[in-house]
Amino acid sequence: MNGSYVQKDEAGGNGGVTLAWLSPRWDVDAMYHLSDYYYRQGMDFRALHTADGETHDIRLSEDDSGRSLTHTFRAAATYKPTEDDRLSLSYTGSLKPDGKSTADAWGNVTDSHNGKRSDTQLHNAALNYTSGFGLSAGADYTYYKDESTQDFTDTEAEPSAFRSDSRQRIGRWKVYADQSHSLAKGWTLNYGTAFTYVNNRNSQRYDLPEMSNLDSESRIDEYTYNVYAGFDKAFSPQWNLSASAAVEYYKMADYWKWAVYPTLSLNYMPSAAHIFQLSFSSDKTYPDYWTLSGSTSYLNGYQVIEGNASLHPYTDYTATLTYIWKSKYIVQAEYSYVPDYFMQMAYLDSNELRAIYNYQNWDYLQLLTFTAVIPFRVGTWWDSQLTLNAQLKHDKASRYYDAPFDNKRWAGIGQWTNTFTLSSRPNIRLEISAFGQTGAIQGSYRLGAVGYVDAALRYTFAGDKAMLQLKGTDLFNGMNHLDIESRNGTQHFDMHVKNYARSLTVSFSYRFGGYKKKEAKEVDTSRFGM
């Protein structure tokens, strides 16, 4: 059993219970969790906006907040006919029946109120079989539904009042099979295949006839076929090599692509005190489904969010060289090249007085990172780790509206985690962590420095079955001051973003009967939502 009380500007919290029954032939578990989530954020926006050859001095402030109650539940059963065979069936559900949010904006171009309500459901069923001879196969189905209503009023802009209704329906099927063979002389062979089909239905309707041009309805079928093969080989106690390659065919609407995604990991350990690792990886990231619908949504009378039906996935290629000394100290160099990278940015429309937030594919993102991890201990009462990063980032987009960019900048990042054992009996520990980042870039943006400090006091008792914790997040309100500026031709604006992240949390948990948490694969929801 567990529960938490969270105090931000307003109170929230969460709690739940997990039950497990274990036997030689069956494992059965069930979980229910309830979350009352509150958020608040804001922004001050200033721009010199040039539209149709005329420059306007834009001043705008926003304050947004929202609350949602989410019910999450899971039930799973695993049948073990032999010691090495497993047949598992699980169901996971999530209901968010009455999400509410409000956004107020005021300034010299808008005075608006934006109220939204949403009803969201997710259902997932997964079947998996794992054998003693290295086979893992299964099927997975996810259904997602989101219905949202927006009531908008603005006394300074046209239209002055409207209502919009948005709908999203997604069905996702996945079937897969993976096989592993242990061969002679230390070779391991791995191969497998997976097929994913997504049925995506989105719609948006405005209640004003003069806004019917913004109505949208999309039906997108997405197909992904993947086949991979790889091997592991220990050539000696000092050398170990793993390599694989996946061939993938991806089709979404009129876009299709064949791609190869290789991975490699080479480990060299000349002695117990020295480890060298060389790795290469490649992976892909897909746009979210709502963005692909191409819909238009109003934030206020000046700012809108536009989808992009032409957005396509990007691939991340990363090479890493790591040295580990005494299994503690780490020095690392890493280079990433990401062609077709995308992220959401603001664009001041050169034809009319509005700011557009949307996603566009860039030429590439490049990132060179040097990392040092330095742990240290003082007796038995202080355990600490310092992580330092130096990053050179290069963002380039030669076809970004009429405002292409090509920016480079170094940034420094530091994170320091500390655990202080105040008492062994009773078991009381204090955890303090700090994060800081110097100025950085993000597309055409230049970002100011940010940082935060978190602290937690934890008391564990009743034979380590019970835990009581008091935690403070962003104690000095450092995340409430993020400055963003753009000076890119006619793109001249400043954003002061306010993230009200500071919170105080009191949490309690208790484990009955020697309960140990069973790891469960989370449902991938990264591309869902509006």
pLDDT in tens, 202-227: 999 999 999 999 999 999 999 999 99
pLDDT in tens, 56-107: 999 999 999 999 999 999 999 999 999 999 999 999 999 999 999 999 999 9
For the domain spanning 2-510, the CATH number is 2.40.170.20
pLDDT in tens, 253-288: 889 999 999 999 999 999 999 999 999 999 999 999
Distance of CA 31 to the CA centre of its chain: 23
Q: How far is the CA of 352 from the CAs of 61, 251, 295, 423, 521, in angstroms?
A: 20, 35, 19, 64, 47
Which H or E run includes 230? strand 216-234
Dist CA 335 CA 364 (whole Å): 13
pLDDT band at 290 (very low <50, low <70, confident <90, very high): very high
Model confidence at 193: pLDDT above 90: yes
Model confidence at 515: pLDDT above 80: no
Tokens of 288: 């979210």
Residue type, position 219, single letter: R
Q: What are phi and psi of 272, to 5 degrees?
A: -65, -20
- Cα angle 522, 523, 527 (rounded to 5 degrees) comes to 130
Dist CA 413 CA 485 (whole Å): 20
pLDDT band at 329 (very low <50, low <70, confident <90, very high): very high
pLDDT band at 26 (very low <50, low <70, confident <90, very high): very high
Q: What average pLDDT does range 117-134 have in this prediction? A: 96
Residue type, position 490, single letter: T
pLDDT band at 487 (very low <50, low <70, confident <90, very high): very high
Dist CA 285 CA 220 (whole Å): 18
Contact 137, 176 (CB under 8 A): yes
Q: What average pLDDT does range 344-371 have in this prediction? A: 96
Tokens of 120: 């969201």
Of 92-96, 153-157, 210-214, 477-481, the range with the highest mean pLDDT is 92-96
User: Is the four-CA dihedral 97, 98, 101, 102 of positive or negative sign?
Assistant: positive
CB proximity list for 75: less than 8 A, separation 6 or greater: 29, 30, 31, 90, 91
Reply yes or no: is the peptide bond before residue 159 cis, omega within 30 of 0: yes
pLDDT band at 518 (very low <50, low <70, confident <90, very high): confident
pLDDT in tens, 417-469: 999 999 999 999 999 999 999 999 999 999 999 999 999 999 999 989 999 99
Give the up-direction half-sphere exposure of residue 156: CA atoms within 13 A in the CB hemisphere. Answer: 14
Dist CA 358 CA 248 (whole Å): 28
Dist CA 325 CA 330 (whole Å): 6
The pTM for the full model equals 0.92
Dist CA 371 CA 442 (whole Å): 20
Q: Output DSSP code: residue 186.
A: G
pLDDT in tens, 371-405: 999 999 999 999 999 999 999 999 999 999 999 99
Q: What are phi and psi of 80, to 5 degrees?
A: -120, 85
Long-range contacts of 238-246 (CB under 8 A, 24+ apart): 238/268, 238/269, 238/270, 239/266, 239/267, 239/268, 240/266, 240/267, 241/265, 241/266, 241/267, 242/266, 244/190
Contact 142, 122 (CB under 8 A): yes
Q: What average pLDDT does range 223-252 have in this prediction? A: 96
pLDDT band at 131 (very low <50, low <70, confident <90, very high): very high
In the prediction, which pLDDT does 69 show?
96
Model confidence at 156: pLDDT above 90: no
Contact 478, 454 (CB under 8 A): no
Q: Output DSSP code: residue 289.
A: H
pLDDT band at 345 (very low <50, low <70, confident <90, very high): very high
Dist CA 442 CA 452 (whole Å): 20
Model confidence at 530: pLDDT above 80: no
- Cα angle 261, 524, 84 (rounded to 5 degrees) comes to 80
